[in-house]
C-alpha cells in the first residue's frame, strides 16, 4: 500500500481556510439575512465538511472502496434529509411558520397555570 505524503503547507492552508470560514460563519450570524441565514450557514458548513473529509481524512488519495463508502454515507444522509423535510413540509397545521420563527407563548400558558394552582 502506497501512501502519498502531503506537505505541511497544504495542511496549514486548509487550516487557515477552515478558520476563515468559521469567522465568516460567526460574522454572518450577526447579520439579519432573513430566511437566507440558514442557507448561508449550511453552505459554509458543507464547504468546511468537504475540506475536512478531503484533506484531513485523506479521501482524495484513498482507495475506490473508501470513496464508495463516503458516497454511500452521503447518499444515506440525503435519504434521511428527504424523509425529514417531507414530514416537516407536509404538516398542514403549521400556519405560516418560517425558518427560525418562534412560536409566541408556546409554553407560557402551561407554566402560569401550573404556578397558580
Give residue-wise pLDDT tens across range 59-83: 888 899 999 999 999 999 999 999 9
Q: Which position has the grid cell 475506490?
A: 64
Domain that holds residue 96: 8-116
pLDDT at 51: 94
Radius of gyration for the alpha carbons in the chain, expressed in angstroms and rounded: 21
Predicted local confidence at residue 9, as pLDDT? 94
Kindly state whether residue 98 falls inside one of the protein's structural domains. yes
The answer to whether residue 26 is domain-embedded is: yes
Over the chain, what is the mean pLDDT?
82
Among the listed ranges 13-17, 80-84, 105-109, which one has the minimum average pLDDT value? 105-109
102 part of a folded domain: yes
101 in a domain, yes or no? yes
Residue 74 inside a domain? The answer is: yes
pLDDT-based confidence at 7, cuts 50/70/90? Answer: confident
CA distances from 102 to 99, 106, 110 (A): 9, 9, 17
- Count the domains in the chain: 1
Please check whether residue 16 lies inside any domain of the structure: yes
Tell me if 2 is assigned to some domain. no
Amino acid at each position: 500500500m502506497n501512501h502519498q505524503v502531503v506537505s505541511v503547507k497544504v495542511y496549514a492552508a486548509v487550516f487557515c481556510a477552515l478558520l476563515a470560514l468559521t469567522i465568516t460563519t460567526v460574522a454572518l450570524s450577526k447579520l439579519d439575512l432573513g430566511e437566507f441565514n440558514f442557507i448561508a450557514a449550511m453552505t459554509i458548513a458543507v464547504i468546511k465538511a468537504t475540506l475536512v473529509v478531503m484533506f484531513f481524512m485523506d479521501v482524495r488519495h484513498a482507495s475506490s472502496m473508501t470513496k464508495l463508502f463516503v458516497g454511500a454515507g452521503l447518499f444515506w444522509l440525503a435519504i434521511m434529509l428527504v424523509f425529514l423535510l417531507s414530514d416537516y413540509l407536509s404538516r398542514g397545521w403549521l400556519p405560516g411558520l418560517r425558518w427560525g420563527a418562534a412560536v409566541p407563548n408556546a409554553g407560557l400558558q402551561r407554566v402560569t397555570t401550573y404556578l397558580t394552582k
